[in-house]
Structure 1
Amino acid sequence: MQYIKIKETIAEQIEQGMLAAGQKLPSERQLAETFTTTRVTLREALSLLETEGLIFREDRRGWFIAPPRIDFPLSTAEDFLVLAEKQARQASLSVIRVQNTLANKQVSGLLQLGPFAEVHAVEMLRYLEKRPVCFVRYWVHAEKNTAVDVDTPEELFAWLRQRELLKNIHISDSVTVSCLTGETAVMLHAATGTPAIVIERKVYSGEQPVAAEIAIWRHDTLTVTSDTVC
């Protein structure tokens, strides 16, 4: 089929380095003319490349070559900034919201809380090479909170480490595949329906969860890894 041949041609140029990470592809109209095809057929090829994480689309800006993925190990107490630095990537954070609030049904379930429990809630964006790649929320019991400077964003494990709450903990992660919608898609500069990887983590002290985090990643930006010791 023609869209398969188009996909393979673009993929080969990416693999050979003819198209560099972050480079913008020609417009869909130009690509359709180059391959002597229709926009519909071209979009099928681009969708396959997006699914494989070779290219990404920014809403109203077009298609770009995806940079290398970051390795994200499960069940380890390392934050995004630390992981990115170890992998020689340029990473940053921006805070969206920090507040103490009543736990909703979802958070109460994650942290095993009763009615009217208060949590410290943080929302932020993670960036790789100045590109927004992940929207993250985390929650901890509000009674463990101290004053936080919202101009100095703290990731979950940095927050816990500063308050000496990382002793004798263990981490439980779950990974699901989803898609970006609504405000999350807008914040990540993505079109609605763009594939996403959702990582839900719980931090336990004994049998009691002390913190929880949900991170929604653009699917082309990370590789989830797990080391199992037998």
Structure 2
Amino acid sequence: MLLTPPPNDPSVVLADGLHYLELRDTIAARIAAGDLRPGDRLPSERALQASIRIARGTIREGLAQLEAEGLIYRKDRSGWYVSPAPIVYDPTRWEGFISYVEAQGRVPATETLDATEIAADTLLAGVFDRPRGAPLYLIRRRRYIDDRPVLFEYIVVDVALAPDLLRFSFDQSLTSILKSHYGLSVTRNKVEMQPCALTGREAAALRLKPGLPGLNVVRTSYDAQGRVVEFDREYWRHDALRISVEARVR
């Protein structure tokens, strides 16, 4: 699909010396108008260069700007695509990733990257109210929506509450495992969120260029007895979710 209109259409003029923001505006307008729909593949950089006769560097700047805004994303060895609608996420509700993604008609998937036993450092000892060096489980997972990696997470669980947890596959719901096998149910969450730049391990796990914006969510989950069931650090693609909270006024 070409981004430029037919030659006799005067609505858009793309000429030599086009600024990258003009390219950005042209593609963004096509997305807003529905000419380019979620999941559509954009023409390759080579095809764009041939059709609008501008420098490859200008094209890359324009595409990078659109990616930073969450309008498009790059898929490994496949090119650029229009971003899908974000998932709506309510941090005040306790629902597992699989549940709220499926409830919105999307397809979730989980990939366990590694799971191991670690010794509590000062931070984790304070979170779990355990002595330094106490055994904890650390699980790293990559999570997908509609086959696109959107979330990289570190999950820490107290060995004392879930002995022999590593025998399970964490490609399934950890929430369900903790509830059905250990009788651990979450009754309260403390959630902290802040924008971040995705770098290092997080960017690599999400197959992103380092430095792109993301959202860091830190969640501490408690059971009815006040024990910490899970401590999670989540790194989201910035275009993958929309925060929505409904508050009642007393």
Give TM-score, length-normalised by structure 2.
0.80
- The alpha-carbon deviation at position 62 of structure 1 amounts to 3.3
Query: Letter of the aligned partner of 2:161 in structure 1?
Result: K
Structure-2 separation of matches of 1:113 and 1:40: 53
Question: Which of 209, 219, 224 is equivalent to 1:201?
Answer: 219
Structure-2 separation of matches of 1:125 and 1:194: 17
Give the fraction of aligned pairs with identical amino acids, expressed as a percent: 28
Q: Which runs of 5+ in 1 are unaligned?
A: none
Structure-2 separation of matches of 1:21 and 1:96: 28
- The alpha-carbon deviation at position 210 of structure 1 amounts to 3.6
What CA RMSD, in Å, does the superposition of the two structures yield over aligned residues? 2.4
Structure-1 separation of matches of 2:82 and 2:128: 39
CA distances 1:44-64 after superposition (whole Å, capped 9, x unpaired): 322332222111124554322
Aligned partner of 1:177 in structure 2 is 195
- The alpha-carbon deviation at position 101 of structure 1 amounts to 1.7
CA distances 1:121-150 after superposition (whole Å, capped 9, x unpaired): 221111111121111111121101133444
- The alpha-carbon deviation at position 81 of structure 1 amounts to 0.3
- The alpha-carbon deviation at position 190 of structure 1 amounts to 1.5
Asked if 1:62 corresponds to 2:62, the answer is no
Aligned partner of 1:224 in structure 2 is 243
Aligned partner of 1:188 in structure 2 is 206
CA distances 1:37-83 after superposition (whole Å, capped 9, x unpaired): 33333333223322221111245543221111111111221011000
Give TM-score, length-normalised by structure 1.
0.87
Asked if 1:215 corresponds to 2:216, the answer is no
Query: Letter of the aligned partner of 2:241 in structure 1?
Result: L
- The alpha-carbon deviation at position 18 of structure 1 amounts to 2.1
Which deviates more, 152-161 or 185-194? 152-161
- 1:115-154 equivalences under 5 Å are 115-148=132-165, 149-151=167-169, 153-154=171-172
Which deviates more, 216-225 or 45-54? 45-54
Aligned partner of 2:175 in structure 1 is 157
- The alpha-carbon deviation at position 89 of structure 1 amounts to 0.2
Would you say the 8 A contact 2:122–2:132 is kept in 1?
Answer: no
Aligned pair count? Answer: 229
Question: Which of 59, 62, 69 is equivalent to 1:52?
Answer: 69
**Counterparts in 2 of 1:216 and 1:155: CA distance versus 1, 3 Å:** farther
Determine which structure has greater relative contact order: mean sequence separation of CA pairs < 8 Å that are 6+ residues apart, divided by chain length.
Answer: 1
- The alpha-carbon deviation at position 152 of structure 1 amounts to 5.0
Would you say the 8 A contact 1:6–1:35 is kept in 2?
Answer: no
Would you say the 8 A contact 1:95–1:150 is kept in 2?
Answer: no
